[in-house]
Structure 1
Amino acid sequence: MSLLAHRSGRAAALLAAALLASGCAKAEPTAATPGSSGSQARQQVATPSGPAGAGCTIQRYGTAAFDLKTAVVGFSQSEKEANPFRIAETQSIKDEAARLGIANLKTTNAQSQFSKQISDVQQLIAQGAQLLVIAPLNSDGWEPVLQQAAARKVPIITIDRKINARHCSDYLTFIGSDFVEQGRRAADQMIKALGGRGKVAILLGAPGNNVTTERTQGFKEQIAAKAPDIEITFEQTGEFAREKGQQVTEQLIQSNPDIDGIYAENDEMALGAVTALKGAGKKPGDVKIVSIDGTRGAVQGIVDGWLYAVVESNPRFGALAFETAQKFLDGEAVPEKVVIADREYDAANAADSLGQAY
């Protein structure tokens, strides 16, 4: 892409966001070039948390302006980077920082240990971080970090999971997917797969965060509203992990051998479920699996017939996170939540879309 084209695209995106904030326009996901983390991240809908002008500004937050290129920026990853979502998420942050010339990006990984993530972020603050981008493991328990960040007026952007805290006091904004809507979309796919009738199991994500709660909420609400003849007969946490998803599905097959569908709240659990189904002698399509994430392995599972559909949860936050931070530093109001757009995969597009999965 030429520099002129890039600037034109960025200007258009900022203009659209400004119009939305003023109530003059409705935001729509924009087209993007597959494979580009920046273009993928710009597929967004900025969702103000209240009336126009109610967003968070640098003046309200009490932060002194600084130059992102020379600032110390801390990024805290929550989970082991064996999960493709986490690999793509971290790489997106690093790639965008490099593209923008941010010279002092410090990254940590909590290895799925919440106590370590708290100490990781505290250490980033002690090292002089002027901006924190956090992918939280849990939504609760952040008070020690929030107190230290507030004392130094360090803005916090959370990505992919929320923290339970006060907007524009404890944190600047949350950037992520609409998880309730993801659950609804997964339910729509399950209804289609089963013809509106059957028994369904839910492989729940990890407890203690909003992603699990909201994906479950959206799925159940949509099933109840649109397909009362679908019965949810089994629910158990697979902790967003492939091995645990396999173990839970093995138990499921023993206790519910007549199960018709499995809703996995992420792709790793779905792929674990596939392994369990294979071990039980099932054939592709015997049990309809719908999951959320959009990893390449899951999209390949659709091609191979083991998965029915996958709703993407876009991990490419880098461009959107730093663009939001820059808007804040430039004095613009930032909403409480910024929603990144998610695509969908099924038998009609999976083979042609493998290259766009992560």
Structure 2
Amino acid sequence: MRKEIMLGLSTALAVAATPVAAQDEPFKVGAAPYGLQAEFMQIWTEAMEEHPAVLSGEVDLTVFDGRYDALVQQDQFETMITQQYDAIIFAPIDIEAGATAVQAAYDAGIPVVGSNTRVNSDLLHSYVGSDDVKSGYMEAEIVLNELGCEGNVVIIEGPIGQSAQISRLKGNMEALSECPDVQVLEQQTANWSRAEAQTLMENWLTAHPGEIDGVIGQNDEMALGAIEAIKAAGLDPQDFAIAGIDGITDALYAVKAGDMASILQDARAQAQGALDVALKAVDPSYEPQSDIWEQYPQMPWNNGEDKLYNVPWTPVTPENVDSLLEMR
């Protein structure tokens, strides 16, 4: 109820402060996330659907499920181009394959704003997301500090070829380079999946009995999968140093229980910020309606013209975990 009241208040204030652009029909915007199976992208999607411009009817928003498949996302772009969407917000599954979709939209005169994951294309209108190299470094640093820069770790990676996997691994390795006495026993993708990560961790616990000291999970879902495997093996997660990224609900509870560490990736700011930038791209008179620009003064609006909007990371701590849970 508290969240709904705050949302309604911020929406009312934004609508009152920002005149609705004069137009005959709503702007037609497509959101193309890489997949909707896991909680993080569900939060991202819900936040976009709760953007004031969507709630007021100024925007006709359609969300597509990319189903973790670059070809599916390409087909969805073709649909949006054929149906003459005004703008597209894109979270690609593959950093290289997504460039073909961006090129097609650019050729059709449709601006594409990236969000959450990156695409290797100079034709992207703008990008609203977070620095995944930094988060990869931060999570690995947490694990290594807990281990005192000694021992053995495993790394559970995201989908190979996605920008978050590439950048977070770079950050992981930068932190590990500062602890030469730490050995990486295993390193493999679990495709952002809790179930796949649980299977990997079960196999690794069998292959390296008593040898694994830390788990670097490139997202919370996979870190939680590792915890489930540890518990199933009759072991205590608190005997391991475990970290993930995203700040999803189950991870917040796991942080509260002392089982893992997490870093909050602000899905709401990424989604609503991307929609504000996309609307500015199609309507030069548009002014931002989301309150995220006031939430993050270190990320100024700059008239919606920046090529990069970097949403800050928030480490989840015992001090802030309860307030973060209240927002869910």
Q: TM-score, normalised by structure 1?
A: 0.76
Aligned residues of 1:133 and 1:159 also touching (Cα < 8 A): yes
The structural deviation recorded for 1:6 is: 5.0
Q: Shift of residue 194 of structure 1?
A: 1.3
- Higher alpha-carbon deviation: 101-110 or 1-10: 1-10
| 1:245 alignment partner AA | A
Q: Which residue, out of 180, 194, 203, partners 1:228? A: 180
Q: Tell me how far apart the structure 1 counterparts of residues 25 and 313 of structure 2 sit (CA, whole Å).
A: 29
* CA distance 1:147–1:217, change in 2 (3 Å): closer
Structure 2 equivalent of residue 90 of structure 1: 45
Contact conserved, 2:112 with 2:278, CA < 8 A, in 1?
no
Aligned equivalent of 1:19: none
- Specify which of 192, 203, 221 is matched with residue 145 of structure 2: 192
Instruction: Provide, for residues 81-139 of structure 1, a one-character-per-residue CA deviation record: whole Å limited to 9, x for no partner.
Output: 33110110111111114235334222211222221111012101111101011121111
Q: 1:350 aligns with which of 316, 321, 325?
A: 321
Give the whole-Å Cα distance in 2 for the aligned partners of 1:350 and 1:86: 20
TM-fit CA distance, 1:323: 2.2
**Paired residues for 1:40-79 under 5 Å:** 70-79=26-35
Tell me, yes or no, if structure 1 residue 114 matches structure 2 residue 70.
Answer: yes
Question: How far off its partner does 1:140 sit?
Answer: 1.4
Question: What is the CA distance between 1:288 and its match in structure 2?
Answer: 1.5
The aligned counterpart of 2:284 is 330
Match for residue 146 of structure 1?
102
CA distance 1:192–1:272, shift in 2 (3 Å): same
Residue of structure 2 aligned with 1:251, choices 203, 208, 214: 203
Q: 1:100 to 1:222 in 2, by over 3 A?
A: farther
Which has the higher relative contact order, 1 or 2, with Cα contacts under 8 A spaced 6 or more apart? 1
What does 1:158-173 align with in structure 2 at a 5 Å threshold? 158-166=114-122, 170-173=123-126
Task: Say if 1:327 and 1:303 are closer, same or farther in 2 by CA, change over 3 A.
Answer: same
Which of 294, 312, 322 pairs up with 1:341? 312
What is the 5 A alignment of 1:173-184?
Answer: 173-184=126-137
Q: Percent identity?
A: 24
User: Counterpart of 2:194?
Assistant: 242
Partner of 1:218: 171
Aligned equivalents of 1:68, 1:76: Cα separation in 2? 25
User: Are residues 344 and 155 of structure 1, via their aligned partners in 2, closer, same or farther at CA, if it must alter by over 3 Å?
Assistant: same
**One-letter amino acid of the structure 2 residue matched with residue 228 of structure 1:** P
1:132 and 1:213 map into 2 onto residues whose CA distance is: 24
CA–CA distance in 1 between the matches of 2:96 and 2:323? 40
1:353 is displaced (CA, Å) by 3.3
Q: Deviation per CA, 1:295-326, whole angstroms, max 9, x where unpaired? A: 0101111222321x101122113321122234
Alpha-carbon offset, residue 223 of structure 1: 2.6
Paired positions, count: 297
Matched residue, 1:289: 242
Q: Partners of 2:106 and 2:162 in 1: how far apart?
A: 23
| 1:30 equivalent in structure 2 | none
Give the C-alpha shift of residue 335 in structure 1: 2.4
Cα RMSD (Å): 2.6
Structure 1 alignment gaps of length 5 or more:
11-64
Alpha-carbon spacing, 1:190–1:335, altered in 2? closer, same or farther (3 Å) = same
Deviation at 1:5, TM superposition (A): 6.4
Paired residue type of 1:134: F
Tell me the secondary structure at the aligned position of residue 316 of structure 2.
strand
TM-score normalised over the length of structure 2: 0.83
Q: Quote the residue 1:315 is aligned against.
A: 267
Instruction: Please show how residues 27-42 of structure 1 align to structure 2 within 5 Å.
Output: none
- For 2:182 and 2:70, locate their aligned partners in 1 and report how far apart those are by CA, in whole Å: 37
Following superposition, the deviation at residue 240 of structure 1 comes to 0.7
CA distance in 1, matches of 2:324, 2:221: 19
Question: 1:3: how far off?
Answer: 8.0
Change (3 A) 1:223 1:292: same
What's 1:155 paired with? 111
- The one of 70, 74, 80 equivalent to 1:124 is 80
